[in-house]
Structure 1
Amino acid sequence: MEPDWKPLESSPDTFTPFARTLGMAPALAFHDLCALEPWALDMLPAPPLAVVLLFPYTQAHLQFVEEQAVTLPPAPPGLFYMRQNVKNACGTIAILHALFNLASSGAEVFEPGSVLATRFEKWKGLTPEEIGSQFRADEELEKLHREAVCGGKTDAEAPVDSHFIALVEAGGQLVELDGRKQQAVAHGPTSTANFGVDCLRVIQEFMDREKGSVLFAVQALVRTG
């Protein structure tokens, strides 16, 4: 049986302090993306380095995942990818997916000696399943997640029917990182200049499958300093 954590609130007021507690560099921050139009990207203080999407975890989504698994192309090499085997840990895993893949590209995204820095080194070379097992047993990460949940404004005891994933650029591809899937999902070519617009396209595809559901939230990770 999976351990059952409490869900993170989808808000920069939760994600940014929590990620900085884990060791994210002070120059990085999460910001809400208020629309899926290109003008919304211009409202951010800087272009997105990664995107975190919260979406409805419905039967329609699960059916699509099953169909998608049959034709998935290989993911780009060198990705950091972990499997999720802890209920409601998807927010923390999305943060790890975003920051660790930026670090893999050579970006300076966390403080030396921090929780993020030590896990990044510890988990190098492990399989997604092995990383997931180590995450599940990590009492420090669970404690910090729990403290972040307590700082949110929404009811952490309410039933959860949504899920966080991360979108990153890796190897010239826009990549979806969802620990509930068998592998990372490549969504086609992208670049630093086009990454934000390409993310909007992929998120719109999620929304179209849910036939107009409004239970979506999007946060962009940006460098502000």
Structure 2
Amino acid sequence: MSIWTPLESNPEVLTKYIHKLGVSPSWSVIDVIGLDDELLAMLPMPVKALVLLFPISQKYEEFCAEEKKRIMAGAEPEKHPEDLFYMRQFTHNACGTVALIHSVANNKDIDIADGVLKSFLDNGLALSPEERGHALEKDKAFTEDHQKLALEGQTDAAAYEKVIHHFIALVNKEDTLYELDGRKSYPVSHGKTSAETFVRDAAKVCKEFMARDPDELRFTVLALAATEA
């Protein structure tokens, strides 16, 4: 397994990153300062994804084990849209990049110029989630772009031998709210949503993560949203 320098949850750095990857300047990564309705209403619309950064604790791992049992015990395998772009994460510390890929790839109205990201997505269309994860691991251009931006944060990310925080993306795909986490073997459906309710619905999922670990304060929520003029 290859190892990348971890990205920090710095909106300016992450915005510069997605623009370098070819995402239109019409979109930016911004902080979500609160999950109450009145604070969510202040976000520039439309919001295309929420990205949650959270600590991987023992409580979270126990929840994931129970979640997997529940999903696997279903009478029928869960069905997802054929064009839901989901990938596994096999590159250590690449969760920030994977979350951003999930956020952008599952919103077809986000323009992506020719470059590293567009090539990766085009080449990955016919691949399995596992194959996409291995493709990222072998992608030298993606690795170089990630490493350059990871070193522009406000903290010395390279100094941390073990990163316990993890990024995931929450997106609206065909009016279903999906949790996309490269550490898991599958996308997780959180039920129905809509363009009008997505931000509130996704915020509710973020609150559920926090409620499962009430003594933990190290949660950060970001949004992929329209760039403010």
TM-score by length of 1: 0.94
Residues in 1 aligned to 2:68 and 2:15: alpha-carbon distance in whole angstroms: 33
Say yes or no: does 1:101 pair with 2:102. no
State the identity as a percent. 39
* Corresponding residue SS for 2:146: helix
What whole-Å deviation, never above 9, does each CA across 1:131-162 have from its counterpart, x for those lacking one? 11111111111110000011110120224111
Residues in 1 aligned to 2:204 and 2:110: alpha-carbon distance in whole angstroms: 28
Say yes or no: does 1:74 pair with 2:78. yes
Cα RMSD, aligned residues only: 1.2
Q: What corresponds to 2:225 in structure 1?
A: 222
Say yes or no: does 1:211 pair with 2:214. yes
* Corresponding residue SS for 2:6: coil
| Contact 2:5/2:151, CA 8 A, preserved across alignment | no
Look up the equivalent residue of 2:80 and give its one-letter code.
P
Aligned pairs, number: 220
Q: What corresponds to 2:183 in structure 1?
A: 180
- What are the ranges of 5 or more consecutive residues in structure 1 without an aligned counterpart? none
- What are the ranges of 5 or more consecutive residues in structure 2 without an aligned counterpart? 72-76
Measure how far apart 1:47 and its partner are: 3.3
Residues in 2 aligned to 1:202 and 1:122: alpha-carbon distance in whole angstroms: 31
What whole-Å deviation, never above 9, does each CA across 1:75-108 have from its counterpart, x for those lacking one? 52221000001110000000100001112xxx13
Alignment of structure 1 residues 1-225 onto 2, 5 Å: 2-72=1-71, 74-77=78-81, 78-103=83-108, 107-111=109-113, 113-156=114-157, 157-158=159-160, 159-224=162-227
Residues in 1 aligned to 2:153 and 2:9: alpha-carbon distance in whole angstroms: 9
TM-score by length of 2: 0.92
Residues in 2 aligned to 1:212 and 1:36: alpha-carbon distance in whole angstroms: 18
Q: What corresponds to 2:74 in structure 1?
A: none
| Contact 1:76/1:171, CA 8 A, preserved across alignment | no
Residues in 2 aligned to 1:23 and 1:167: alpha-carbon distance in whole angstroms: 21
Look up the equivalent residue of 1:134 and give its one-letter code.
A
Measure how far apart 1:116 and its partner are: 1.5
